[in-house]
Structure 1
């Protein structure tokens, strides 16, 4: 498992009956990998994991492992209400052929550090798979401080990476100050990627990449290679779209961008509903304005991606 580069937090596509559209997801995955994405993260927040049954999650993982066909690792996000269910999902991900796990705190219950440490330890120990910790205090209310992360790194040899989504880029340097290069740090919010790389991050769990992989991969590499002027030119263009990743309706918004660009549809499972009215009009204006000034980056047409 190589924790590096742009790894999409893939959306889960639904058909007109709101059932998982596995055929589309296979095609989408191949298109993302063809644009230089280095892995695929399934069943995360953007993947609407909370609306999927256990069996649906396993089916998604198996399909993505088959779709990648060894080209890139598939990472399973492990989120559940209980530690028992999280452990079961981790084991199912290993059985499905996944290469890594992205481990979340338990849904709903916001425990203290003793409880959260026990939860993470159970998942880390459930398989030998390489693990990433997902820290998102804004969304989940549980904050894994740099000191907590250092303690976990000392205790678990298969803990290799952190997805840092606190929105505070200083966390990247704080973690590195404690653990050095022991952990690979990924930025988990789209509108902090350039700053995060400057602070020492080496990867991006990205959202808008689902619709714009060429631009996302180009932005990452420009920033990582220290091409500051070119990176900020592309970043300025991209930011109105990247900021959609930080809003409460980020799933609806990113899926709408996919639909507007012809690489998916806007369907979401309840309790989420597709955006409508003035909100829809204004969002489409933002997308249209961005597309009017879209930079010239080599883009493989989605329709040309053959089913393999």
Structure 2
């Protein structure tokens, strides 16, 4: 059994039908395309997948649909974490019953003044209720979005308490000092990064890989970052600098606006499939996908892609 998420994983957006339901057929096609581009696995219903807009039943139905479409369970991670820990328990149990083992959980959110002991007790309550050795839990740290993060000492205590069941941390804080804090506090955990600009140096400092959203629209550029710096010659060092600049420019295209609608708009323009631009309320679709795609194409050309 895979111990933790490692390598090149993509946080996938969730395509919708005209009625706002998950379009599982379109999602399966997208996932196969990502695998063909060299991606190791996908995470459903994370931040990029508008996860908090979908309930337990919808998420599990999509898992079952992808499994039915021939997507291997070992290549699927499922985003979870709810304000109510009973929902996290239900989701995790159902995912394990379906054959998945890789679950990513946010800490319970809304109570933003909760202390580290409260966060630890919430994760412990979920793990004690699920009580399944097959589980490989990734703690999901994205405090700038969720309002609540995972303190590094909590990650370390949970790993010490539950062993390999607590397998990793996804650090999407975009604060590299935070990545280093997780590595220092719990070196046994597989720490992946969500901020694409940090991938190369994270790998150089013992990171496990990435779970990121930009891979949906620029998979080759993300792969360049994941391969890490080339240091053999001055020419190769220059290439490394160029790809880091290109990645920052690609990220800047969607900064300053809601990330998910912008990413979906680019994907709609790339595929010629306008349905990809649809989002669930309270998000709103953006209309400049073609312009964003053109700017991204220019960035990719600057990186030799």
TM-score, scaled to structure 1: 0.85
| 1:160-187 per-position Cα deviation (integer Å, ceiling 9, x unaligned) | 111112221122222222333x111101
Match of 1:115 in 2: 118
Residues 71, 8 of structure 1: alpha-carbon distance in 2 compared, 3 angstrom cutoff: same
Offset, 1:72 = 4.5
Point out where structure 2 has 5 or more consecutive residues left out of the alignment. Answer: none
| 1:107-140 per-position Cα deviation (integer Å, ceiling 9, x unaligned) | 3233222221121112334133111111111111
Secondary structure in 2 matching 1:119: helix
Do the aligned partners of 2:76 and 2:102 also contact (CA within 8 Å) in 1? yes
Match of 1:250 in 2: 259
Moved more, 54-63 or 192-201: 192-201
Do the aligned partners of 2:73 and 2:99 also contact (CA within 8 Å) in 1? no
Match of 1:15 in 2: 17
Do the aligned partners of 2:196 and 2:247 also contact (CA within 8 Å) in 1? no
Match of 1:306 in 2: none
Do the aligned partners of 2:108 and 2:148 also contact (CA within 8 Å) in 1? no
Match of 1:179 in 2: 186
Point out where structure 1 has 5 or more consecutive residues left out of the alignment. Answer: 300-308
Moved more, 58-67 or 22-31: 58-67
Do the aligned partners of 2:56 and 2:90 also contact (CA within 8 Å) in 1? no
Secondary structure in 2 matching 1:294: helix
Residues 61, 246 of structure 1: alpha-carbon distance in 2 compared, 3 angstrom cutoff: farther
Please give the residue correspondences for 1:119-130 in structure 2 after superposition, counting only pairs within 5 Å. Answer: 119-125=122-128, 126=130, 127-128=132-133, 129-130=135-136
Q: What is the distance in 2 between the residues matched to 1:253 and 1:289?
A: 12
Match of 2:214 in 1: 208
Match of 2:28 in 1: 26
- Two-structure CA RMSD over aligned residues (Å): 2.6
Q: What is the distance in 1 between the residues matched to 2:41 and 2:186?
A: 24
Please give the residue correspondences for 1:126-205 in structure 2 after superposition, counting only pairs within 5 Å. Answer: 126=130, 127-128=132-133, 129-157=135-163, 158-180=165-187, 182-205=188-211
The answer to whether residue 14 in structure 2 is matched with residue 3 in structure 1 is no
TM-score, scaled to structure 2: 0.86
Offset, 1:4 = 1.3
Moved more, 159-168 or 216-225: 216-225
Offset, 1:43 = 1.2
Match of 2:279 in 1: 268
Do the aligned partners of 2:107 and 2:149 also contact (CA within 8 Å) in 1? no
Aligned length: 293
